[in-house]
Amino acid sequence: MRRRRLLYGRRKGPKLSPHKEELRHTLLPELALKLEPGRDPRAYFGEGVHDVWLEVGFGGGEHLLEQARANPRVGLIGAEPYEAGVAKLLSKMVDRDASNIRIHEGDARDIVDALPGASLGRVFILFPDPWPKTRHHKRRFVQMEMLDALARVMKPGAELRIASDDAGYVAWTLERLMAHPGFAWTAHSAADWKSRPPGWPQTRYEAKALHGPPAYLLFVRSGKMTG
């Protein structure tokens, strides 16, 4: 069996505070996504959830929390391999309703592989690691194989939202998505991708804009693929 390529670096960083470490042992088990291959993702949540969205690499969780608050009838699944990011999100969730959030402390591909077809209404890939060195480009999340997998699990008309402040990663992403038959770009002018659209909460990383002005790419599942 071929070993799957890692798309991220180390999972552990500096030692967590006692409070955050405690949340990993108490709150995380309540919110952890218990994956079952082929299961309708709505079943991971309580009654009243009519759609499910996935955020790939939620960082500190700002965007995930805001989307969950603004869309109480949507189930939000967040994937994040870094313990510090998960702990930061957990610290923000104490004493608040988290019934429509589930956390996967690991590779987002685990979730995509387990989902049935046409089961997600929206996918977010916000400021992923650009892996700027050429020899590391194979570790970028946006690959044609990954787009095939996302096209399978996204409903026709579902949104794929991608943001990056790295010009090289933006060009890489556009090249692959424009060539993929399962997605259609919604932009009509530069203003459509140079400005953050309404209903697109800002992330902590975005506020820093480390590499340049962010680009906001909105694609929809076009329905041209049937696989």
For 28, the 3-state DSSP assignment is helix
Distance between CA atoms of residues 27 and 85, nearest Å: 14
Residue 77's DSSP bridge partners are: 54, 102
Q: Is 129 a catalytic residue?
A: yes
SS3 of 182, please? Answer: coil
For residues 219 and 163, give the distance between their C-alpha atoms in angstroms, rounded to a whole number: 11
Q: Report whether 219 contacts 160 (CB < 8 A).
A: yes
User: Which residue is catalytic, options 51, 110, 113, 129?
Assistant: 129
Antiparallel, parallel or unpaired: β 154-164 and 215-221: antiparallel
In the sheet where 154-164 sits, what is the strand order? 101-104, 74-79, 51-56, 120-126, 154-164, 215-221, 183-185
- Look at residues 130, 128, 102 and name the one whose alpha carbon lies nearest to residue 114: 102
Residues acting as catalytic residues: 129
